[in-house]
């Protein structure tokens, strides 16, 4: 199954659960997309890479603090799970399911 799609995700953060959508659009061995969340707005994916069913990416968070996030997740069927490294805030758990 392809990693392409839009996922309804939850990220466990020091500020509690953050729900949003993660869009993954493959382009060759990489991908573009974004994470949208009512509190943080839209954060475009940078450096998106695909290796089988595993994706890695970075994002520049600006709200509530400026921080570079580093993500890694695995897609299994319609589920996505992984982590987002958030600097001094540590590793944050990411889970979700394909929307629709």
pLDDT tens track for 45-81: 999 999 999 999 999 988 778 899 999 999 999 999 9
- Assess whether the previous peptide bond of 64 is cis (omega < 30° from 0): yes
- The reported pTM is 0.92
In CATH, what number is assigned to the domain containing residue 84?
A: 2.40.128.120
Per the structure, the complete domain to which residue 10 belongs is given by 5-98
58/88: higher pLDDT: 58
Quote the pLDDT of residue 3. 94
**Which residues have a Cβ under 8 Å from the Cβ of 27 and sit 6 or more positions away?**
none
**Counted domains in the chain:** 1
Quote the pLDDT of residue 1. 60
pLDDT single digits (tens) 89-100 = 899 999 999 997
Here the contacts of 67-70 (C-beta below 8 Å, separation 24 or greater) are 69/43
Quote the pLDDT of residue 13. 87
pLDDT single digits (tens) 20-48 = 999 999 999 999 999 998 877 899 999 99
Hey, CA dihedral for 93, 9, 72, 64, is it positive or negative? negative
């Amino acid at each position: 199954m392809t990693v392409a799609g839009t996922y309804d995700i939850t990220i466990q953060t020091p500020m509690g659960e953050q729900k949003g959508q993660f869009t993954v659009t493959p382009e060759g061995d990489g991908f573009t997309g974004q994470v949208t969340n009512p509190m943080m707005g839209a954060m475009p994916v940078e450096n998106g890479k695909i290796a089988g069913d595993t994706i890695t990416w970075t994002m520049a968070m600006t709200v509530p603090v400026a921080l570079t996030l580093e993500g890694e997740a695995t897609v299994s069927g319609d589920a996505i799970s992984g982590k987002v490294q958030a600097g001094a805030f540590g590793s944050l758990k990411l889970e979700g399911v394909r929307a629709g």
